Chains A and B, each alone.
Chain A
């Protein structure tokens, strides 16, 4: 097997103070176990994370760039969808 045959995995890290996993990059690996190890080596060297997800890149369904207008332009004008007309109670920390 050629090394270029190894599939790509997307890496998501939950940081020390972060609330959710964030996409940080990708690694090549022969399988999930190796992908997890490689992600640990490349993306948590400087104490960045407390949890790692790796996902085979093929498993991700992405929106098509050419559909950008149809997908994302319309909501720009619909400001009433933002909850910016309401006063938040002071006790609400994070929204």
Chain B
């Protein structure tokens, strides 16, 4: 099977599809870890609804990756059988849950990028990518509305909630430049009208997020050390632990059904 992933490395379209799949899958799993830990019952349901939306999206992307390259097996094999180095998600998505402000800040920074990227992908020359994007964007629209409200609510809340949210934004800002980095393979897909052009998205993202931070009385970090590598399969240490938990059942009982 590892040979499949080696050949996958030469297929820029599939790399891109896996990148989109892994963003949703990994963030969905992080949210899943919050199950039974939410501050109130209503928030618990909301977090798990978001998580399940993301898993559904990941499934659509992975199914499409398999349709293009049947030797990859099926979507379960891709989600549960790949090693850390073969995951192509943004580093932002894999960051730990931290406190509630950390989780909501991570969600908001990603949601804005996710919505803008999906909006661009709705116009993709690849009709299946456009279809998955059109289906996902309605869900993500709502995710963003909710996480935005929490950023403002906590940022412009009590002194304590403000400090938590500001500290969350400061910590996560190191993973924001990676959102807009595109390698040669991806830029080729952009030129073909298949992938989203992150150069356009970056301006919109910075304007949208900047406006929300202002409304939330938060300060936008400057001169932040920036970390990269997620899209090339270079992940942070806690990611391996998350993956081990996520994949343990599948690896112990491959192909199990119920």
By a beta-carbon cutoff of 8 Å, the part of chain A in contact with chain B is 1, 3, 6, 27-30, 33-34, 37-38, 40-42, 45
| C-alpha spacing A27/B41, complex, angstroms | 9
Complex interface: chain A residues within 8 A of B46 (CB): 37-38, 41
Q: Nearest chain-A residue to B158 (Cβ)?
A: A1
| C-alpha spacing A33/B149, complex, angstroms | 9
Closest 10 A-B residue pairs measured CB to CB? A38-B42, A41-B46, A41-B45, A27-B42, A3-B40, A42-B45, A41-B49, A37-B146, A3-B39, A42-B42
Give 28 pairs: A residue, B residue, CB < 8 Å, sorted on A: A1-B158, A3-B39, A3-B40, A6-B40, A27-B42, A28-B40, A28-B41, A28-B42, A29-B42, A30-B153, A34-B153, A37-B46, A37-B145, A37-B146, A37-B149, A38-B42, A38-B43, A38-B45, A38-B46, A40-B142, A41-B42, A41-B45, A41-B46, A41-B49, A42-B42, A42-B45, A45-B45, A45-B49
Q: Mark B142-153, 1 if CB is under 8 A from A, else 0.
A: 100110010001
Known: A37-B146, A38-B46, A42-B42. 11 other contacts (CB 8 A): A1-B158, A28-B41, A29-B42, A30-B153, A33-B149, A34-B149, A37-B46, A37-B145, A37-B149, A40-B142, A45-B49
By a beta-carbon cutoff of 8 Å, the part of chain B in contact with chain A is 39-43, 45-46, 49, 142, 145-146, 149, 153, 158
Q: Nearest chain-B residue to A27 (Cβ)?
A: B42
| C-alpha spacing A30/B156, complex, angstroms | 14
Q: Nearest chain-A residue to B161 (Cβ)?
A: A1
Complex interface: chain B residues within 8 A of A34 (CB): 149, 153
Complex interface: chain A residues within 8 A of B146 (CB): 37
Complex interface: chain B residues within 8 A of A27 (CB): 42
| C-alpha spacing A12/B149, complex, angstroms | 22
B202 CB → nearest A CB, Å: 29
Of B40, B149, B153, most A-chain CB atoms within 10 Å: B40
Of A38, A41, A42, most B-chain CB atoms within 10 Å: A41
| C-alpha spacing A25/B152, complex, angstroms | 27
Q: Nearest chain-A residue to B45 (Cβ)?
A: A41
Q: Nearest chain-B residue to A30 (Cβ)?
A: B153
A38 CB → nearest B CB, Å: 4
| C-alpha spacing A45/B146, complex, angstroms | 15
| C-alpha spacing A40/B142, complex, angstroms | 10
